Amino acid sequence: MSTTPTNAFEWSELDERTVDTARVLAMDAVQKVGNGHPGTAMSLAPAAYLIFQRFLRHDPTDPSWAGRDRFVLSPGHTSLTLYTQLYFSGYGLELDDLKAFRVAGSRTPGHPEHGHTAGVETTTGPLGQGIANAVGMAMAARYERGLFDPDAPAGESPFDHTIWAIVSDGDLEEGISAEASSLAGHQKLGNLVALYDDNHISIEGDTETAFSEDVLKRYEAYGWHVQRVTPKPNGDIDVAALADALAAAKAETSRPSMIAMRTIIAWPAPDAQNTAKAHGSALGAAEIAATKKVLGFDPEKTFEVSDKVIEHARQVIKRGKAARDAWQQSFEVWRAAHPHRASEFDRIQAGELPEGWKKAVPVFEAGKEVATRKASGETLKAIGAVIPELWGGSADLAESNLTTIDEDSSFLPEGNPLKSASPYGRTIHFGIREHAMGSTMNGIALHGRTRVFGGTFLVFADYMRPAVRLAALMKLPVTYVWTHDSIGLGEDGPTHQPVEHLASLRAIPGLAMVRPADANETAVAWRTVIERQTSHPGPVGLALTRQNVPTFDREVFGSAEGTAKGGYILAEASNGDPQVILIGTGSEVQLAVKAREVLEAEGVAVRVVSMPSFEWFQEQDQAYRDSVLPPSVKARVSVEAGIAQGWRELVGDHGRIVSLEHFGASADYKVLFEEFGLTAERVVAEAHNALRSLEAVNR
């Protein structure tokens, strides 16, 4: 539908001057550093200013205020669009910060970085991630409302707020946006408003080179409320029409909203507007001077900002404080009416866990064979029963990766026919959308006050990788339940059997991978993940078996508590002075245990180390690491059903690595382990090879 301006809308000459100042700042900042993206920041200036000044509920003096709306700039390359509004609004950025755009150590890096610049809600750069984050934020806002104020009428809870996003052609071309937008429409996320900057320009030129679909028809098919705003005759944004569209979108609470806004990139630069060059290059001194003349600025001045402009723009602080005061009053009324829920809010806000929650962590009986995915599922249900802020689900694989935290409570909108459906349900059905699952989880974590997990097969972590990398970059407390962690899944064959994935994921800085050896290691791993999410922020991936594995008798073997340290002595050498150390992870630890029995019978003193997490082990002090892996014991053998990459550092020059350097096959997992040499016999042989290597050196 089209929108038309209303007579009630007011837009002063000072508003216009402030917007034009933002355009000038975008040109000057990019020109000063010599690189960047000025064009979109110029054309989007009226829209961003309108949102920050008239629609976004925020208090610039407290960027983390619990009652705020969220703003996501999905096309992170136009970071100046956001930085100028943060500067105008009084978030702490000043003119010198804009002058330092893209300079080392500045608060204005090339793409917005969460945790680096106040007011930046998420790190955006890779296109499509931001809109998917916004979908996650909208999901989290609804779940949070269910935790604290589920019975309030629509729009009357202090936990009702809006997620605003600006998206670009590039965002909508990336497949992740399709996944996330489909999910948002299915979930009827009426608290999400996306403004599509339809400027028809990409790096390669006009978007006709690659993009010609009717975006609004696509989003209408997803179940979104759609509107279109056309520009004024001179090519600039029709601010009054846009204001009407944003108001209508905010009022539409039964479905997410998409507004397609036609813009002219780099408007009103005389020669650069509507060109691909304006997307990612400085406009040049002559074009900037010409544009400043058009806008009524002095071509000889740079970074020209009048005191009146700043004084006018920063009136938003006063409006923000008033909005916050009004919110605080409603919040206090809620607190008085719901003391128990208020107590829960305070606990969660403080990052604390329910008293006595650890008692819910199960202990598994020794001797019984249990798949670690099954142990994970049982642990999740047990701790979920006492940690209400913990929620999550699966990319349509819940029956396989056992991530259903509550079978009677599905996070689904009103009107969904499933019996378990509730807009505030515990179990998320992400659908077959692994990439969107990863990025919406990031949005959920960024929103705050809940703890989220998401599951799929380990091999499909490839689909999630960009989102996982960003979770690590932002140090977000998200948990990945990656099951079917090796050729141990058997008959599904090499397409589903991860081989290189553990090494690949361990290569991501800030991501901790945990591959437990048995049920009790799995339970301790989950407990540790929950404990760490406040003190050690960052994502964690659990790699879990499909097949059953032995549950070790902890009266005979080392305590599973060692899991929390990443690596520990599972079985000590019979004489306490090992000649060989066998190191395993996951389902292969049992091979190391069997090999130890053979070697000890031969008179070789052998220690077995379970190493569920390289990353957690590396966090321990040197004394502890040396106590587990004494530097003096150089005969070491690792065993893991994956590629060898990453193991050499642990086994050393004389060590041997039992690994899998090729893809798997379709067969029973026991057949595959035997055929590919992942056996206790192979571990024994490699232990002897390691000892012979040392003997040769010592002769």
Instruction: State the helix-helix crossing angle for 38-50 and 79-89, rounded to 10 degrees.
Output: 40
How many Cα atoms occupy the beta-carbon half-sphere of 560 within 13 Å?
A: 26
Instruction: Determine the Cα–Cα distance for residues 153 and 160; give it in Å rounded to an integer.
Output: 10
Mind listing the pLDDT tens digit for each residue in 109-147? 999 999 999 999 999 999 999 999 999 999 999 999 999
CA atoms in the 13 A half-sphere facing the CB of 447: 35
The yes-or-no verdict on residue 2 having pLDDT over 60 is no
Q: Rounded to an integer, what distance in angstroms lies between the CA atom of residue 638 and that of residue 585?
A: 9
Task: Tell me the average pLDDT across 381-409.
Answer: 97
Distance (Å, rounded) from C-alpha 17 to C-alpha 25? 12
Residue recorded with tokens 């047990």 = 382
369 is annotated as an active-site residue: no
Strand duo 421-422 + 548-549: pairing:
unpaired
Strand order, beta sheet including 390-394 = 421-422, 410-411, 427-429, 390-394, 451-457, 478-483, 540-543, 512-514
Q: Which residue has the tokens 């979109």?
A: 40
Mean pLDDT of the 291-309 span: 98
Q: What is the pLDDT of residue 649?
A: 96
What residues does 455 pair with on adjacent strands? 394, 481
Q: How far apart are CA 444 and CA 194, in angstroms?
A: 17
Please give, one letter per residue, the 3-state secondary structure of 96-158. Answer: HHHHCCCCCCCCCCCCCCCCCCCCCCCCCCCCCHHHHHHHHHHHHHHHHHHHHCCCCCCCCCC
Average pLDDT over residues 95-99: 98
Q: What is the pLDDT of residues 307-345, one digit of tens each?
A: 999 999 999 999 999 999 999 999 999 999 999 999 999
Q: Write the pLDDT tens digit of every residue in 349-375.
A: 999 999 999 999 999 999 999 999 999
Identify any residues that bridge with 581 across adjacent strands, giving them in sequence order: 607, 636
Radius of gyration of the chain measured on its C-alpha atoms: 28
- Residue 7 pLDDT > 70, yes or no? no
pLDDT at 553 over 70: yes
Lowest mean pLDDT among 7-21, 53-67, 652-666: 7-21
Number of H helices, E strands in the chain: 26, 22
Q: Which of 121, 174, 434, 615 is catalytic?
A: 434
Q: CB 399: neighbour CB atoms within 10 A? A: 9
| pLDDT at residue 168 greater than cutoff 80 | yes
Tell me which H or E stretch contains 287: helix 285-295
Burial of 344: CB neighbours in 10 Å, binned 0-12, 13-18, 19+: middle
Say if residue 158 is preceded by a cis peptide, omega within 30 of 0.
no
Tokens describing residue 477 = 């407390």
Rounded distance between C-alpha atoms, residue 23 and residue 686, angstroms: 67
Q: Identity (one letter) of the amino acid at 313?
A: A
Instruction: Note the pLDDT of residue 392.
Output: 98
**Amino acid at residue number 276:** A
Cβ-contact 537, 574 below 8 angstroms:
no
- Measured from the Cβ of residue 596, the count of other Cβ atoms closer than 10 Å reads 28
Q: Compute φ and ψ for 256, nearest 5 degrees.
A: -70, 160
For residue 514, pLDDT over 70 is answered with yes
Please report which confidence band the pLDDT of residue 3 belongs to, taking 50, 70 and 90 as the band edges.
very low
pLDDT of residue 648: 97
Q: Which residue has the tokens 């106590």?
A: 627
- What's the pLDDT at 696? 87
Residue listed under structure tokens 């060059």? 277
Q: How far apart are CA 319 and CA 338, in angstroms?
A: 28
Show the DSSP H helices in 417-518 as ranges: 434-447, 461-474, 501-506
Cα separation, 525 vs 629, whole angstroms? 21
Q: Which residues pair with 514 in a beta bridge?
A: 542
Q: Cα dihedral sign for 368, 372, 373, 375?
A: positive
Note whether 508 and 468 are within 8 A (CB): yes
Cβ(496)–Cβ(484) below 8 Å: yes
Q: β-strand 478-483 against 451-457: which pairing, if any? A: parallel
**pLDDT 10s digits, 274-293:** 999 999 999 999 999 999 99
Q: What is the pLDDT of residue 619?
A: 98
State the pLDDT confidence band at 655, using cuts at 50, 70 and 90.
very high
Percent of the chain with pLDDT over 70: 99
Q: Which pLDDT value is given to residue 5?
A: 42
Mean pLDDT of the region 536-542: 96
> Average of pLDDT values for 226-245?
98
Distance, CA of 561 to CA of 523 (rounded, Å): 10
Given this model, what pLDDT does residue 249 score? 98
| Distance between CA atoms of residues 225 and 73, nearest Å | 20
> What's the gap between Cα 445 and its chain centre?
7
pLDDT value at residue 534: 87
Mean pLDDT of the chain: 97
What was the pLDDT predicted at 119?
98
Cβ-Cβ contacts under 8 Å for 281 (sequence gap 6 or more) = 35, 38
